[in-house]
Structures are given as structure tokens and as C-alpha cells.
Amino acid sequence: MESEIVQAVAHYAESVMGQEGFRYISAVVATCKMLALELEGSEEASALNMDALVISAYLHNISTIEFGFHDHQVKSAEMAVEFLREVQAKDELVTSVERIIKAHTTVLAPDEQETRPLEARIIYDADKLGRLSGLAVVTSLIEFGARYPNRAVNGEVLCAILRHIEERFVDLFQSLNTAPAREMARVKFGNTLAFLDGVIEHLSDATPI
């Protein structure tokens, strides 16, 4: 692994995203490494480029701080290319990272997934694994409160919000690309759905809160 380039990329990501953003990105990078390790020995993993995977994982959201998430894969790829050229990364690596970052948000049907770089599929999965936990439920509720600060919330409204979150979780789980990601998510996903179902059942009488 080109350790000097990776180290420079990590420092760059931290300087742009701040400590909180970098903490999340570091978790994604760690999950990417775990998924890659689980895939080791498989036929598709033979072409896996670990340098490109790790660098892309560090930089895949790099534009969101300044430009938001709309089409962030395009702007993040541009920023990644610019930085990698500054640190004189090899052209082949720069091209791979650009392609991976541009493809990491794409959701494809199972029979089409192999048309996307494996590294992009791994980053997608690592990103989504962090959103299949009970903490993600709390985050979603906080986001709802921030978006609708003056809206009264009773049991009925809260049930509707939680059902929507549950649907999103199901969609996220079903969109995972790799077998190791689905296996890692299975227990977490099951526990989160059980938690949501329990809360929804408890609130089904729409008691005001």
C-alpha cells in the first residue's frame, strides 16, 4: 500500500471534514477494510485494489461540507483527483479513485452489480451499514424535529415517522451489494426492526406525547 499517499489523504480528509466528519469517515474506512478482508479469497476480490479502496473511502464524501450531498459523488471525485495530482499519485490510481467515487452511490439490481467497481460496492455497503442501527433511528427523529420544529407530535404521527424509517431500513438492507455486508447487517438490522416494531406497537393507540 502506498502509505505516504494514504496518510496524506487521511490528513486532507480530516482538515476538510473536521473531527466529527472525519470520525465517521474513519469508521467507513475501517468497515471497508473489514469487508475487503471477508471477501479475501473470492474470485471477484482478486482484482481488488486496496490503495484505491482506502483512498476512495476517505474522499468519497469530501465535497459535502461545502457543497452538500446533491450529486456529491461528482464533486467529491473532482476534489479527489485535484488533491491526488497535487501529491503526485500515479495516474492509474487517480483514474481508479475517480471512477470508484463517482460510482459509490449507485444502486443496481443484483444481476447488474458486477458492472460497478467492487471498491465502489464496498464503500456503498460500508456507508449503509452505519445507518442500520438504533442510533440511526434517533438521528432520523432528531432530523425530523429540526426540519419541522413547530409540528406537534402525538402517538399517531410518531408511528408514521417510525414506519417510514422502518421502510428506509428495509430498502437499505436490500440494497447491500456484498455477502459480508449482508451478514454483518443481519443481526443489527433484525435488532433495529424489532425495536421499531415494539415502539410502534406501544404507540399504536396514538396516545398524545
Beta-bridged to residue 208, according to DSSP, are 154
pLDDT band at 156, cuts 50/70/90?
confident
Whole-number pLDDT of residue 190: 76
Question: Is the Cα dihedral 107, 85, 26, 76 positive or negative?
Answer: negative
Whole-number pLDDT of residue 1: 54
Asked whether the predicted pLDDT for residue 80 surpasses 70, the reply is yes
**Where do the structural domains in the chain lie, given as residue ranges?**
1-127, 130-209
Average pLDDT of the segment spanning 168-187: 86
CA distance 189 to 191: 6
Chain center to CA of 107: 12
Chain center to CA of 123: 7
Average pLDDT of the segment spanning 161-186: 85
Query: Side chain identity at 22, as an amino acid letter?
Result: F
pTM, two decimals, is: 0.79
> What's the CATH code, domain 1-127?
1.10.3210.10
Helix ranges, 40-59 (H): 50-59
- Compute the mean pLDDT over every residue in the chain, rounded to the nearest whole number: 85
> Which of 50-54, 128-132, 140-144 has the weakest average pLDDT?
140-144
Exposure letters 169-197 (e unless 16+ CB within 10 A, then b)? beebbebbbbebbeebbeebbeebeeebe
Beta-bridged to residue 114, according to DSSP, are none
Asked whether the predicted pLDDT for residue 173 surpasses 80, the reply is yes
pLDDT band at 88, cuts 50/70/90?
very high
CA distance 39 to 142: 36
Contact in structure between 181 and 129 (CB atoms under 8 Å)? yes
> Which of 33-37, 110-114, 200-204 has the weakest average pLDDT?
110-114
Give which of 153, 152, 148, 134 is closest to 194, Cα–Cα.
Answer: 134
